[in-house]
Amino acid sequence: MDFRFSPSDDAFRRDARAWLDAHPPAEATPRQWERTLGADGWIGLGWGRTPYGNRTATLTQQVVWAEEYARTPHTPPRLGHIGENLLAPTLLAHGTAAQKDQFLPPIARGEAIWCQGYSEPGAGSDLAAIRTTAIRTPSARTPSARTTSPRPPDTYRVTGQKIWTSHAHEADWCFVLARTEAGSHRHHGLSLLLVPMDQPDGSVEVRPIRQLTGTSEFNEVFFDGARAHPDHVVGGEGNGWRVAMDLLAAERGVSTLAQQIGFGEELERVLEKARDTADPLLRERLVRQWAELRTMRWNALRTLGGGPDPAAPSVAKLLWGGWHQRLGELAMAVRGAAATAGPYDWSESEPYELDAAQRLFLFSRADTIYGGSDEIQRTIIAERVLGLPREARGQ
């Protein structure tokens, strides 16, 4: 399929642009902004026709929306993107009718915020090595012989630690990959459970992780017997690995093109600082950076417009992770020695401050690690696409 924008896509772009211009995001908190988007059906464009209040959009129209959103000044990073772009497609593919009816409408309305409970200490990119458990336990209350009320359902008790969990401190729910079969190994015996973050007994604890930038976008999450309803297992008990892999496949797609809009704006700021540089090596690096960004865009459009490609998500991650890291290095190189000094006077009694270029440099150091490290992406390409011998792994 040749990926082209049609006249109807241009009309959709005008509608999206008009709506964004009429709804200044700076006037709303992140949660209020999610509800604003949901009220007019801008959440779930890629879900297809559903009864949950979302607009339907073609693939090209989803690209148009993502690009216009990224171009709009001061639009915040989406607080609800994990629920919209990861959990919702997974429920549509694997969820029961009851799960869809319970969880999709609040996501579409921008009311429910989700986080992802996958990575663990010692099991970051190697997802099959997770140790978090979910043990099904009988209800504590036994029905009386004198009553006809049904026995209360069993409960899963989730115990373990997740790490690098985005939005955990703001989330209402977490989808958690856990072991539901005692003694299971690797990808066997796993299940995907939907766990409420607000547990009355305090069995879910969230601890922010302070990063090089001084901010805390990620968190550690500790589950100490947290409860999950038995009807909230997606795809059935023991099928967690298959469901989790389908969910990860949804993680890269239209959003990659929107991400590249942001990359382009960052590159433009670096170029502006370098307008007068006479260093031929630095100029060559800047031109190469621009050319690689254009190549990434056309590759993303190609993979969106084509059929299933098991290598596409891993190739995309390798491309943008390294590119963004090199951009951070370029931002520092352009400024020379001045890049080592912060924008304000610093004292030990105050947290250090960074400017935008310094934050870019420090934060992008993680780009080749989170979301599946470069080593893992290369292993996926080698084993699943090129058919090379599998790497030996522990049991």
Active site residues: 251
Backbone angles phi, psi at 206, to 5 degrees: -115, 125
CB under 8 Å to 81, separation ≥6 — which residues?
255
Residue 233: burial class (beta carbons within 10 Å; 0-12, 13-18, 19+): buried
- Pick the closest to residue 117 from 66, 20, 201, 190 (CA basis): 190
DSSP strand pairing (114-117 vs 173-179): parallel
Q: Residue-wise over 283-299: b if at least 16 C-beta within 10 A, else e?
A: eebbeebeebbeebbeb
Q: Which residues contact 242 (CB under 8 A, 6 or more apart)?
A: 235
The first and second tokens of residue 181, run together, are 């079969």
* Rounded Cα distance, 73 and 350, in Å: 30
Gap between the Cα atoms of 291 and 284, Å rounded: 11
Residues 6 or more apart whose Cβ sits within 8 Å of residue 17: 68
Rg (CA), the chain: 23
Provide the 3-class DSSP secondary structure of residue 185. Answer: coil
Q: Rounded to an integer, what distance in angstroms lies between the CA atom of residue 271 and that of residue 182?
A: 56
Instruction: Name residues whose C-beta falls within 8 Å of residue 18's C-beta, 6 or more positions apart in sequence.
Output: none
C-alpha span between 270 and 329 (Å, rounded): 10
**Residue 69 neighbours by CB distance under 10 Å:** 17
Q: In Å, what is the CA distance from 337 to each residue of 331, 332, 342, 349?
A: 12, 8, 11, 25
Nearest to 106 by CA among 170, 172, 168, 62: 172
